[in-house]
Amino acid sequence: MITNLLKMSTVLSDNKVIYSLNTPDKRIDINSLIGKEITIEYKNEINCIHCGRKTKTSFGQGYCYPCFTTVPEADPSIIKPELDQSHLGIARDMEWAKKNSLVDHYVYLAFSGGLKVGVTRATQIPTRWIDQGATRAIVICKTPNRYLAGVTELELKKHFADKTNWRKMLTNFQDNSIDLFDEKEKAINLLPAELREFSFEEQNQTDIEYPVLEYPKKVTSVGLDKKPIITETLIGIRGQYLIFGNNTVFNIRKHNGYKVEIGI
């Protein structure tokens, strides 16, 4: 089957993640492939995930350069929400911003190999946490737009990490001494009064389990640019990574738009 890769779709059912890969022809249940040998063969073509044109280099996880510099999905505020200006009427696409930036956003703490702070639209929970490989997460604040969530995150980044340590995440590093409820209280108290008013009162923690037969002790990332044919036994999935039996991992999202042939 030949298709262009896109990040895996996820569903959280009874705290367990169900993964699927959507292709033009069918939906592939990735969980059902665990324990089996699969082949991913790069067809030496990358297509922009927005306009479909061929591109030699992928920008921003799947875009050609023109789309990377113009489409709202690739705006710098996606990475740095504090840069969002849609609340001022400034955006690459205001209609898109009304649906995606000028809506409720959550600032959260998640454990994904380490404790981190992050921002996501309300509609992206728990998808955002799953994509980061978090095993538990809790909401700190709820804001009415992306900009205010970004400003809140910026303040908390003085005290909390904002990046996922992918190696620790994929070896299932845990630290049970970290209590998210305590960390949430600490985070709220660190905020200035004008941001503390957005504190999220509910005290619900989301726990997430991933379909992994066995976690490797050390991991090495493999990519199609250097290794155009990958044939390995799939032993697990976490975040947007496939975990193989030879201690290598493959980041699906990093290869958005890559045309591949998948052999099962």
Judge whether residue 22 has pLDDT over 90: no
Same domain flag for 61 and 183: no
Tell me which amino acid residue 62 is: G
179-215: pLDDT as tens digits? 999 999 999 999 999 999 999 999 899 999 999 999 9
Domain boundary among 186, 207, 228: 207
Query: pTM score > 0.85 for this model?
Result: yes
Give the separation between CA 232 and CA 91, rounded to whole angstroms: 44
Whether 83 and 185 map to the same domain: the answer is yes
247 and 142 inside one domain: no
Residue-wise pLDDT for 42-95, tens only, equals 999 999 999 999 999 999 999 999 999 999 999 999 999 999 999 999 999 999
Q: Are both 88 and 199 inside the same structural domain?
A: yes
79 plus 165 within the same structural domain: yes
Residue 195: half-sphere exposure toward Cβ, Cα within 13 Å: 20
Contacts of 243 (CB under 8 A, 6+ apart): 170, 212, 215, 216, 219, 234, 235, 236, 237, 249
| Whether 100 and 201 share a structural domain | yes
The whole-angstrom distance between residue 129's C-alpha and the CA centroid of its chain comes to 7
Task: Looking at the structure, tell me whether residues 167 and 96 fall in a common domain.
Answer: yes
Of the candidates 261, 263, 236, the one whose C-alpha atom is nearest the C-alpha of residue 250 is 236
Boundary of a domain, candidates 162, 181, 207: 207
In this structure, which amino acid lies at residue 35?
A: G
Average pLDDT of the segment spanning 128-133: 98
Distance CA 122, CA 202 (A): 14
The pLDDT of residue 31 is: 97
Verify that 117 and 183 share a domain, yes or no: yes
Cα 90–chain centre separation: 26
Pair (167, 219) in one structural domain: no
CA dihedral 235, 40, 74, 58 (to 10 degrees): 140
Strand order through the sheet with 27-29: 9-13, 16-22, 27-29
Domain count, the chain: 2
Chain centroid to CA 170: how far? Answer: 14
Domain that holds residue 62: 2-68+212-263
* Residue finishing a domain among 162, 187, 207: 207
Q: Are 161 and 45 found together in one domain?
A: no
